[in-house]
Amino acid sequence: MTKQHHLICLVVLATTVFNPLQGYASGEEKPVAKQQKSGPKPETGKTQVHLIPYVPPKPPQPTPKIRTSQGGTRGCGGLPEVTLLAPEHVALTTQEQPHLYWHISTITHKPMVFTLSSEDAVQPLLELRLPEPAKPGVHFISLAAHKVRLRIGGLYEWSIRMLCEPGKGRSGDLVVKSYIKRVPRKNQPISMKISDDPLIRARGYAYNGIWYDAVTTLHQAWRNRPDNQPLKSAWQDLLEQVDLPHT
C-alpha cells in the first residue's frame, strides 16, 4: 500500500468517527431512535379539554358525600333521585343572594323542605316548604326572593329534606345537603368586564373556583335559549367535572 493510499484511508476513518451524522444521513438506523421505537408509545387521548374548566378553591374543604340520594330504606324507598348541583367540597360564590340549584329525576308528591343555615347560628336563616308536586328537572332557590343575604366569609349549609312519612318523625326522611361560602369579588379579568357572552363569563368564574356563579350564569343563559347547543354542552361539561349527572 502506497503512502498516498494509506493517507486516504486514515482520512475516511477519521471522518466516520468524528462525524456521527454521516451514517444517519445515509439512511442507516440511529441507535437511540431504535431504542425509542422499541419502548412503550406515549399515551394519547388522556387529556380532556373542557369548555368551562373548573378549578376548585385551594386548599379544598371536603364535605360529606350526601349531595345525592335515591330514597331511604324506609318510607322513601323507590322514590326519585334528588341531587344538589354542587361539588363535594365547600364551593364559592361572590353573590350576596345567589341561586342554589338542585335536580330531581321524576315527579314526586312527597312534601319537601329547603333549609339554609349558618355555621354560627342556632336557628336556620331560611326554612321553606317547596311547591308540590316537585316535577322532574332542574330547580333553584333564589335567596333574593326570600330576602336572605350571605355575608362575606360566611359558611352556610343548605339542604333539601323529603318528608317520607309526614307526622311520624324524621328518621326515615331523605336528606341531601351541601355547603356554600361567600368570598369577596376580586379583580375580574378584562374579558369578563367587557363581555356579555355567558360562556366567557362562566369560564372566568369557574377558572377562579367560583362554582355557584358559573352555574347560575350558564343556567340563566341556557334557560333563555334552550336550543343553544354550545350552552347545553358547557352546562353538561361543568357538571361532569364534579361527577354530577346530566340534567
pLDDT at 214 over 60: yes
Per-residue model confidence (pLDDT) at position 76? 64
CA–CA separation, 38 vs 78, rounded Å?
A: 55
Q: What is the CA radius of gyration of the chain?
A: 30
pLDDT tens digits for range 99-135: 999 999 999 999 999 999 998 888 999 999 999 999 9
CA distance 126 to 158: 9
Cell numbers linked to 131:
311547591
Q: Does residue 133 have a cis peptide bond before it, meaning omega lies within 30 degrees of 0?
A: yes
| Residues 210-233, mean pLDDT to the nearest whole number | 94
Q: Parallel, antiparallel, or unpaired: how do β-strands 112-118 and 155-162 relate?
A: antiparallel
pLDDT of residue 135: 94
Per the DSSP assignment, residues forming a β-bridge with 101 are 140
Under CATH, to which class is 68-240 assigned? mainly beta
Rounded Cα gap, residues 220 and 225, in angstroms: 9
Domain spans of the chain? 68-240
The CA distance from 109 to 91, in Å, is 30
Classify residue 219 as left (phi > 0), alpha (psi -120 to 50) or beta: alpha
pTM for this entry: 0.75
The predicted-structure confidence for 154-210, as pLDDT tens digits, reads as follows 999 999 999 887 766 666 788 899 999 999 988 666 667 667 899 999 999 999 999
Handedness of CA 84, 90, 92, 98 (dihedral sign): positive
* pLDDT, tens only, 50-80: 889 999 998 878 876 676 765 443 456 677 8
